[in-house]
Structure 1
Amino acid sequence: METSRSPVRCLWSHRPMRIPFLFAFVLLTAASSFAAEKEKHVLLLGIDGCRFDAVQKAKTPNLDRLVAGGIYSPSALILGDRYRKNDTISGPGWGSINTGVWADKHNVQGNEFKEPRFDKYPHFFHYVKQAYPDAKTVSIVDWDPIAKYIVSDADVSLSTKEEGGDVVASYAKGDEKSTAEAIRLIQELQPKAMMLYLGQVDETGHAHGFHPSVPQYVAAIETVDGLVGQVLDAINKRTDEEWLIVVTSDHGGEGRGHGGGHDNPNILHSFLIVSGEGAQKGKFDTQVYIVDAVPTLLTYLGVKLDDAWQLDGHAVGLK
């Protein structure tokens, strides 16, 4: 009797040890998988009139950490191969950056915004809202035409520029206000998509010159970098979220201007930084364009790009 029961008792004695161990392993694996699934958010950060060679001359620890945390190009083009007739100024530039199409489509050829076609080629918030109707979208700028003409489908659209007085100082104050509002809304509204525009670098270039040898221009870039750092700190506190940050500019500059820069590399070249956990690391080895910003942001958010949108850009730099 004792001998025949021993195998049964022995087998039973091992089962309580194996089952809890397996159960705990399954729970741990599921918990780890759940913890890895963070909600995705995007920030399009625009620094008007910013030459990348001047960024490299300046002390920019915050832009540097975005570069280190992603992939970048120092020579993103502000014009495409198909269409190059629009002027190399802010209206066409920000129109292309925010829509992902060139100026022959959105039809902003200069800063007049005479007959824009943003109804047909809308701001990228439009596509975010189509995919995620409950998502919060925020645009904060201190160059009014962006808010007046380009932005659509924004839950919050702010223009912070102060009128009167010195133009450079006005934009510097506007940038400070924009940064403070961005930090507040990141904390309070948790936007899925945000566009933040900072304008003082461009105005400083117009006042003193667009070149890394110009102290005022370099100092403006360093000031903006400090503001960027404040926004990054606010984002980094959102530990349950995963952000992709795309940084670009609408044009470079030469002397104290940037109009008519179709054949001038110092004007024709912007830069593109794609940074975050979802980004590749290193330097782009192919040509990228400012219209690539929107497809990159949308693709990261899981928005399926539709050929009917006729986007000119492509998703770049994502894992």
Structure 2
Amino acid sequence: MLSRSLRRRFGVTSFAICVAIFAMASAADAVEPTKKVLVIGIDGCRFDALQRAETPHLDALMEAGAVAQPTRIFPARYREADTISGPGWSNILCGVWSDKHRAMDNEFTAPNYEEYPHFFKRLKQAQPDAATASFSDWSPIAKNILSDSDVTLDAEREDHNYQLSDVEIVAAASKHLREADPTATVVYFGQVDGAGHADGFHPSVPTYVKAIERVDGYVGELLAAIESRPTRANEDWLILVTTDHGGSGTSHSNGHENPEVACSWLVVSGDAAHRGKIAGERGQVDLVPTALKHLGVSVDPAWKLDGEAVGLK
């Protein structure tokens, strides 16, 4: 507030103008930060193995956010889809269960993505100028589940060496996060699932745990890229991290009755997130409404989403 001497000097009218200028400046300082979402998918990552591994970056995200664990990978009403990646990532990225999106396995014979598309399309319906990007090294993510992103990298190798292709993924995604202006980005890493199939899905398997630790390092690179953005101070990032299934032995197919397979987890982290455990029974389908709510998109009941927003303040 201006002093009495300034009010006497400038007069009432000038004083009012000065007050208006100060108010405008304060309003400019209070501009709502730009909402952004980063989804990190770690295929085939058991939560007990994640807890065994040295994962400082994922630990920090969990400490600064909310965690749903366990998270259902299929609904109580329907068990016809296999407990594998095609149905899992469709649940996660479309926000509906497999009796709606119809991705029953990894063959994608007759998916119903036209009626139940991935959340990028829902975002674009509400915000046509929103910028979307997808980085993955399991081809069905790019070709089937997350089609029509503004930016797409499918880095799957012919030899299916996900350890090498994950390196390509994190380099490209980090560059994009640093230099572009994305609204919603999905980054998928495949090597943890690859290690599980090769040597076993279990916290006692050194190669499986080591793969989780390597991916945690990539998570750190993605977070560092966000923090290095010149506009970071005016942005509100929500980080969502999840997996599609667990594993038992070297497999996870037909795991409906096996709790080592039939569970996932979800981390909701950032300034907009609550801290602590997310109460109640949660499902993979909660990720999409959570991302959309943060981005300011109202869910249309006609979309028939199966989940709800979780972990947000």
Normalising by structure 2, what TM-score? 0.92
Call closer, same or farther: CA 1:283–1:27 in 2, change over 3 Å.
same
2:8 equivalent in structure 1: 15
2:280 equivalent in structure 1: 286
> Given the alignment of the two structures, is residue 126 of structure 1 paired with residue 125 of structure 2, yes or no?
no
Structure 1 residues not aligned, in runs of 5+: 1-10
Equivalent position SS for 2:66: strand
> Given the alignment of the two structures, is residue 95 of structure 1 paired with residue 90 of structure 2, yes or no?
yes
Structure-2 separation of matches of 1:30 and 1:115:
52
Structure-2 separation of matches of 1:64 and 1:71:
11
Deviation at 1:207, TM superposition (A): 0.4
1:4 equivalent in structure 2: none
Equivalent position SS for 1:41: strand
Structure-2 separation of matches of 1:42 and 1:262:
31
Name the amino acid aligned to 1:256.
Answer: T
Structure 1 contact 49–201 (Cα < 8 Å) conserved: yes
Name the amino acid aligned to 1:146.
Answer: I
Deviation at 1:16, TM superposition (A): 4.1
Name the amino acid aligned to 1:145.
Answer: P
Which residues in structure 2 correspond to 1:288-303 (within 5 Å)?
A: 288-303=282-297
Structure-1 separation of matches of 2:6 and 2:39:
61
Structure-2 separation of matches of 1:15 and 1:317:
53
2:256 equivalent in structure 1: 262
Name the amino acid aligned to 1:278.
Answer: A
> Given the alignment of the two structures, is residue 201 of structure 1 paired with residue 192 of structure 2, yes or no?
yes
Name the amino acid aligned to 2:301.
Answer: D
Structure-1 separation of matches of 2:45 and 2:195:
10
Structure 1 contact 136–189 (Cα < 8 Å) conserved: no
Which residues in structure 2 correspond to 1:148-187 (within 5 Å)?
A: 148-164=143-159, 167=160, 170-187=161-178
Call closer, same or farther: CA 1:263–1:135 in 2, change over 3 Å.
same
Q: Deviations over 1:43-76 (max 9, x none)?
A: 1111000001111100000001110111002211
> Given the alignment of the two structures, is residue 241 of structure 1 paired with residue 242 of structure 2, yes or no?
no
1:314 equivalent in structure 2: 308
Call closer, same or farther: CA 1:23–1:263 in 2, change over 3 Å.
same
1:49 is aligned, of 20, 35, 44, to 44
Q: Deviations over 1:127-185 (max 9, x none)?
A: 11111111111011100111111113311111112212xx4xx1011111111111111
Call closer, same or farther: CA 1:44–1:16 in 2, change over 3 Å.
same
Structure-1 separation of matches of 2:133 and 2:29:
32
Identity percentage over the alignment? 51
Name the amino acid aligned to 1:272.
Answer: L
1:147 equivalent in structure 2: 142
Structure 1 contact 129–153 (Cα < 8 Å) conserved: no
Which residues in structure 2 correspond to 1:27-46 (within 5 Å)?
A: 27=24, 29-34=26-31, 37-46=32-41
> Given the alignment of the two structures, is residue 75 of structure 1 paired with residue 70 of structure 2, yes or no?
yes
Call closer, same or farther: CA 1:99–1:12 in 2, change over 3 Å.
closer
Name the amino acid aligned to 2:249.
Answer: G
Name the amino acid aligned to 1:192.
Answer: T
Structure-1 separation of matches of 2:96 and 2:246:
19
> Given the alignment of the two structures, is residue 112 of structure 1 paired with residue 112 of structure 2, yes or no?
no
Structure-2 separation of matches of 1:234 and 1:198:
17
Structure-1 separation of matches of 2:181 and 2:312:
23
Deviation at 1:25, TM superposition (A): 5.4
1:8 equivalent in structure 2: none
1:26 equivalent in structure 2: 23
Normalising by structure 1, what TM-score? 0.90
Structure-1 separation of matches of 2:5 and 2:82:
82
Q: Deviations over 1:192-237 (max 9, x none)?
A: 0111100000010000100111111000000000001000001112
Structure 2 residues not aligned, in runs of 5+: none
Name the amino acid aligned to 1:139.
Answer: S
Structure 1 contact 126–152 (Cα < 8 Å) conserved: no
Name the amino acid aligned to 2:45.
Answer: C
